[in-house]
Structure 1
Amino acid sequence: MKRQKRDKLSRAHSKGYQAGITGRSKENCPFQTIQSRSQWLGGWREAIEDRSLGLSSR
């Protein structure tokens, strides 16, 4: 039985979060479609907020 891949939009969100936690710029978004780009930026914004609250281990 094949393993099912995660939803592309949730993957975009988590990749955006990872980028934000590591301090990457939002201009580095690798996605071109509006939905994926929106999810990536949402994850990035969450990470920036978490960093400002001191939740990252960096």
Structure 2
Amino acid sequence: MKRQKRDRLERAHSRGYQAGLSGRPRELCPYQSLDARSHWLGGWRKAMEDRSVI
């Protein structure tokens, strides 16, 4: 996988994580492409898990 593509997907994951920590609903995902959207949602889910532990 190209580094550029991986960086973009890592950024989507990170932004999803931040959105999840701040309590934003998953319906507000800004990404339309399937890859970026799935990474954003993965980050969002991880943040939701982390929030429930605290």
- TM-score normalised to structure 1 length: 0.83
- TM-score normalised to structure 2 length: 0.89
Deviation of the 1:32 alpha carbon? 0.3
Gaps of 5+ in 2: none
The share of aligned pairs that are identical, in percent, is 62
Gaps of 5+ in 1: none
1:1-58 equivalent positions in 2, closer than 5 A: 7-54=7-54
Which deviations, in whole Å up to 9, do the C-alpha atoms of 1:13-46 show, x marking residues without a partner?
A: 0000000000000000000000000000000000
Q: How many pairs were matched up?
A: 50
Give every structure 1 segment of 4 or more consecutive aligned residues whose post-TM-superposition deviation is greater than 3 Å.
none
